[in-house]
Every structure is written in C-alpha cells, then in structure tokens.
C-alpha cells in the first residue's frame, strides 16, 4: 500500500466512493437559468418544490428580526422550547393525532438525514438491520449506514402492490431471511407519502405493518416529510394521506415502538434550512438521541425562522393551499407530456414532487445486454443534453429502466427539461421508441414561462 492509500481507513475509502459531493457538485455548480446560465443543467432529479421557494424567501425578508441571542448556542442541540411548542401545535392541527403531541415528545436536529442516523444509533447495534421497501429514497443507505452502521434490508414486492396489505408477507419473508443470514433486524421504515412513488399508504396496510412490527418487536419509523404535499388526483389508485398518529394504534403496536420524522425540506420548501424533528413517546430512545444531537446541531437562526413560519398560521394555511394547487397542476402537466410521448408512468401518485417513469423502451439492450450498463448509457445521453433525472438503480428499483422525474418547476424550466429529455432518449410524439421531438404542450408551457 502506498503512503497516499494509507492516509485514510478502508471505511473512509468506502464512504468516499459513494460521496454526495462527487455526485451532486457538477450539477449544483452548473444549474440551468434561462437568463444567466441557459447552457446549464436542467435539474429534474432533485426533490425540491422549486416553485414555492420564492414565497419562503419573501416571508423571511418580511418577518425575520434577530437579536444578540440569535447568534449564541441557543438552548441546546435538541431544539428551542419555542420551536418545539410551535411544531407540536402544527402537528396537532395538520396531523390530527389521537393523542395530543407535546413539545417534550419532539427532538430537533439539522435535517431528517441526521435524524435517521441518530435513530440508528439509538435503536440498534452496528450491523443490525432496518426493513425498507423497494424502490426507495436513495440516501437512506448512507443515512442509516455510513456512521450508525445500520444495514438497509430491502423488501422486494415481486409484482405485489406494495401499498396493499398483501405486502406484509414480503416484509416478513425479508425479515426472516435477513435474520437467518445473521442480520438482526430491529426496525421498519415506512416512507409515507412514498418517495419515489408519490403514493400514500392505506390505513389497512399501515395497521398490518404495525402488527408485523409488534409481532417481531421492531421499531416502526414513519417518515412523513411529504405529509402536506398531498393533492387531489382523480386516479382510482390515489389514496389520501393517513399519519400513524391520527388513529388509535395501541391495538396494533406499542407506543414504545412507534416514531415519526418530519421536517422543513419538503412541505415548507425550505431544504436549505436543514431542520427536522423526531416524535416519539419512548423516553429511553429520546434520551439517547438527545445525548448525541450535538453532532447534528441546527443553529438558533434556523430555529428562529422555522418558529416564525409555524406560528404564522394564516400565512401557512395560504402557503399550503397554494403549494398543493401548484403540485396538482404540475403533476397533470407532467402526465400530459408523458402520455403524448407514450412514456409509461406509475399511477396513483398524489403526493410529493415527482413521478416514477419507465424509460426501459429507450434502453439500447442490443449494444448493452446488461441492463445496468444500458441504463448508464441512457444516463450518459441525458448528461450530454444537460438534463438530470434520478435513475432507478440508485433508488433500489426492482426493474431496470425506471427513473424519478421532478415536476415542481416553473413552466419554462419544465418545458426546457422535457425538450432535452425527449431529445436525449430519442422519443417521438405518439410513439413508443426512438424518434424526434415536438409537443404543443411543451410549447404552451414555454410561452407561459416567458410571459
């Protein structure tokens, strides 16, 4: 081993190979802007509600007043009393909990990424496992695994609707297989609303998963970060959101096993705020998390801004109403364009900022018989056209060729993104397979965006 190789550990090299900086810096440093950087990359892969960020910025410029205390360490790394009271009130209003959420039921950290890591440290030992459905948000692997060393045990659906109660058998099979192979599964992650599928879990399925957790003494961590980014969709497969807090869950799972993470990055269009919280009535778990939050400390200025938003309930009601209306409109526009180009998408999506689309017909499997290589080759074509989508292999897809596309963009950006996408993959209007470009709907979006 050379001297350079010996400067970091094997663990360090493994983490470096999955570096977020290596993957995202080229994108974030060259983002498309119609006026200032028209040759930049159109980002239709990062899950942000880009349309609503101006509302958040305007609110901040109008409302924030700091004091000398704002620039101290504040009240500690678990969240100020004011913030915890404001978030408890917010959850009591919008999540409709059976039992009132109390400020002491909440611990804050600098984002759900950190909270997943903290939860991993608190609930398991190094090498233990957490059950997660496929596909899933790509960062969970690092969130739980990079430092807490909790292994993600992925649950395939094998053709079963993963939102139906039938999927519980697949979870139990994955659990028993993992334990037989030496992984002590300690928890189950419920991503509801789901990322990347944009669907909500029916109450029947939530209850069945709770019963599974109780049977095997698993913690159930419900990630509800898209709870208020749910909109009307006439699709029969669409189900409205149900929080795990909104019904009496005690017949199905012990309160000591039930936890919720929530934050500001999605519903509040404030990913840059880096702030989230975990709810639990398991005092031992919360004490453990609180003991190590100094490594995930969110600053008092962030907490001040968050509290201001939560406390201005009139503004927040209007903000959520507008956001849900915008997401519904963009979802419909995205589906219209996909249907024009005969691009398949997963139905029932009524939450989040994305659709799950099937680009398998555009994979060159004759040149690249290996599906992953074919998918990477298609991604390379997108990179050449400077359009970014999240590929399914990063999201643990069971079928090659699926991608997550973000539609929460302004009209002009959305139109430019689709123009580049259909050019990159060779789509033709009205045909499934390689072809050209042209869409009246794209032209309409572009005209509206330039007004």
Q: How many CB atoms lie within 10 A of CB 418?
A: 28
Give the DSSP letter string of 216-270: TT-EEEEE-TTTT-B-----TT------TTSS--TTTS-GGGEEEEEESSSTTS-
Question: Which pLDDT value is given to residue 25?
Answer: 78
* pLDDT tens digits, one per residue of 318-336: 999 999 999 999 999 999 9
pTM, whole model, 2 decimals? 0.92
- Beta strands 354-358 and 344-345 are antiparallel
d(CA 52, CA 50): 6
Q: What is the DSSP letter of 18?
A: T
Confidence of residue 14 (pLDDT cuts 50, 70, 90): low
d(CA 175, CA 179): 6
Confidence of residue 26 (pLDDT cuts 50, 70, 90): confident
Question: In order of start, what are the domains of the chain with their CATH numbers?
Answer: 5-47+353-449 (3.90.1150.10), 66-312 (3.40.640.10)
Calculate what percentage of the chain has a pLDDT beyond 90.
86
Question: Which pLDDT value is given to residue 444?
Answer: 47
- Beta strands 427-428 and 402-406 are unpaired
Confidence of residue 21 (pLDDT cuts 50, 70, 90): confident
* pLDDT tens digits, one per residue of 241-266: 999 999 999 999 999 999 999 999 99
In the block, residue with structure tokens 């189950």: 188
d(CA 80, CA 84): 6
* Whether the Cβ atoms of residue 240 and residue 200 lie closer than 8 Å to each other: yes
Q: How many CB atoms lie within 10 A of CB 93?
A: 14
Long-range contact pairs involving 97-105 (C-beta distance under 8 Å, separation at least 24)? 97/243, 97/245, 97/246, 98/245, 98/246, 98/247, 98/248, 98/249, 99/245, 101/245, 101/279, 105/279, 105/280, 105/281, 105/286
Give the DSSP letter string of 353-385: SEEEEE-GGG--TTT--SHHHHHHHHHHHHHHT
- Residue in 37, 46, 29 with CA at minimum distance from that of residue 137: 46
* Whether the Cβ atoms of residue 261 and residue 112 lie closer than 8 Å to each other: yes
- Residue in 331, 328, 360 with CA at minimum distance from that of residue 343: 360
Average pLDDT of the segment spanning 52-67: 96
* pLDDT tens digits, one per residue of 102-130: 999 999 999 999 999 999 999 999 999 99
Average pLDDT of the segment spanning 375-403: 96
Average pLDDT of the segment spanning 226-240: 94
Question: Which pLDDT value is given to residue 7?
Answer: 72
In the block, residue with structure tokens 């409109």: 329
* Confidence check: pLDDT of 445 > 50: no
Residues in the chain: 451
Question: Which pLDDT value is given to residue 119?
Answer: 98
* Confidence check: pLDDT of 447 > 90: no
Distances (CA, A) of 33 to 43, 44, 286, 292, 389: 10, 13, 43, 40, 17
């Amino acid at each position: 081993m050379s001297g350079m190789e010996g400067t970091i550990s094997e663990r360090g090299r493994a983490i470096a190979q999955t570096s977020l900086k290596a993957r995202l810096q080229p994108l974030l440093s060259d983002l498309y802007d119609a006026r200032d950087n028209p040759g930049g990359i159109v980002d239709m892969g990062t899950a942000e509600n880009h349309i609503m960020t101006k509302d958040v910025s305007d609110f901040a410029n109008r409302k924030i007043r700091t004091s000398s205390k704002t620039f101290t360490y504040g009240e500690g790394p678990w969240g100020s009393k004011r913030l915890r009271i404001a978030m408890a009130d917010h959850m009591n209003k919008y999540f409709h909990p059976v039992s009132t959420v109390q400020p002491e039921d909440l611990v804050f950290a600098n984002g759900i990424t950190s909270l997943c890591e903290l939860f991993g440290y608190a609930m398991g030992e190094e090498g233990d496992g957490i059950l997660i459905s496929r596909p899933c948000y790509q960062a969970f692997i690092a969130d739980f695994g990079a430092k807490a060393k909790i292994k993600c045990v992925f649950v395939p659906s094998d053709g079963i609707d993963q939102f139906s109660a039938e999927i519980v058998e697949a979870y139990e099979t994955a659990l028993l297989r993992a334990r037989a192979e030496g992984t002590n599964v300690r928890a189950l992650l419920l991503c509801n609303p789901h990322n990347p599928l944009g669907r909500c879990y029916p109450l029947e399925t939530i209850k069945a998963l709770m019963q599974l957790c109780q049977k095997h003494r698993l913690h159930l961590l419900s990630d509800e970060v898209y709870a208020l980014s749910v909109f009307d969709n006439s699709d029969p497969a669409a189900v409205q959101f149900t929080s795990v807090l909104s019904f009496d869950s005690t017949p199905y799972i012990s309160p000591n096993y039930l936890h919720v993470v929530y934050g500001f990055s999605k519903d509040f269009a404030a990913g840059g705020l880096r702030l989230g919280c975990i709810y639990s009535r398991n005092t031992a778990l919360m004490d453990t998390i609180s003991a190590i939050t100094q490594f995930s400390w969110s600053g008092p200025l962030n907490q001040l801004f968050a509290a201001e938003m939560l406390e201005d309930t009139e503004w927040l009601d209007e903000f959520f109403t507008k956001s849900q209306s915008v997401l519904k409109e963009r979802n419909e526009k995205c589906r219209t364009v996909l249907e024009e180009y005969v691009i398949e998408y997963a139905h029932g999506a009524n939450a989040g900022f994305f659709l799950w689309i099937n680009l398998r017909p555009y994979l060159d499997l004759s040149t690249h018989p290996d599906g992953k290589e074919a998918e990477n080759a298609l991604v390379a074509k997108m990179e050449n056209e400077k359009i970014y989508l999240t590929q399914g292999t990063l999201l643990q897809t069971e079928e090659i060729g699926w991608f997550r596309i973000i539609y929460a963009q302004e009209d002009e950006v959305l139109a430019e993104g689709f123009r580049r996408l259909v050019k990159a993959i060779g789509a033709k209007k009205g045909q499934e397979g390689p072809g050209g470009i042209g869409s009246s709907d794209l032209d309409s979006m572009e005209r509206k965006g330039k007004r």
